[in-house]
Amino acid sequence: MIISLDIQGAFDNLQYNSIRNSLDEINFPSHTIESLKDILTDRKVTIQTAQGPVSWSQQQGCAQGSCTGPMFWNLVANKIISVEWQPNVHLQAFANDFIFVISEPTGAKLKPTSQAALTKFQHWTDKHQLKVSTEKSTTILISRLVSGPRVKWDN
């Protein structure tokens, strides 16, 4: 079974705390880590209103097309990619799309294995305040089975 998951507004909703925590866990020189954290410090959004400019602190989001946006996303996404999965569960990612490839000999075994993988993935999305777009996510059964098991997001 292949399960394709799309993270809704991944770059817009990436939390700065998730990025900072991921930076703390990588083995880079401290001056590099501090420089990257500085990019996320004291960021403000300002819009012009009829009453004048209004500003607020930014706590999430990476600018589309920025050099650091994909790197920050990959740092956070690496946490779920590097999880130790069951031997028959494989997870791949490309940008904000994730693909599970799950194999089991029977449909009866495929459903709990798939559901366990989705549950573990959902713990990661919940922890980082990310949402899966169920409209853009799908399952594909590649098997001799007549029909695949029904797996659900968010139980």
Q: What pLDDT shows up at residue 146?
A: 58
Q: What pLDDT shows up at residue 6?
A: 96
In a domain, 111, yes or no: yes
Q: What pLDDT shows up at residue 151?
A: 74
In a domain, 75, yes or no: yes
Residues of the chain with confidence (pLDDT) below 50: none
Query: Total structural domains in the chain?
Result: 1
In a domain, 154, yes or no: no
Q: Which domain holds residue 46?
A: 2-140
In a domain, 150, yes or no: no
pTM of the model: 0.83
Q: What pLDDT shows up at residue 87?
A: 92
In a domain, 153, yes or no: no
Q: What pLDDT shows up at residue 152?
A: 75
In a domain, 149, yes or no: no
**Long-range CB contacts (< 8 A, 24+ apart) of 118-125?**
118/3, 118/151, 118/152, 118/153, 119/155, 120/83, 120/85, 121/5, 121/80, 121/91, 122/153, 122/154, 124/79, 124/80, 124/83, 125/7
In a domain, 148, yes or no: no
Q: What pLDDT shows up at residue 85?
A: 96
CA distance 124 to 25: 16
In a domain, 145, yes or no: no
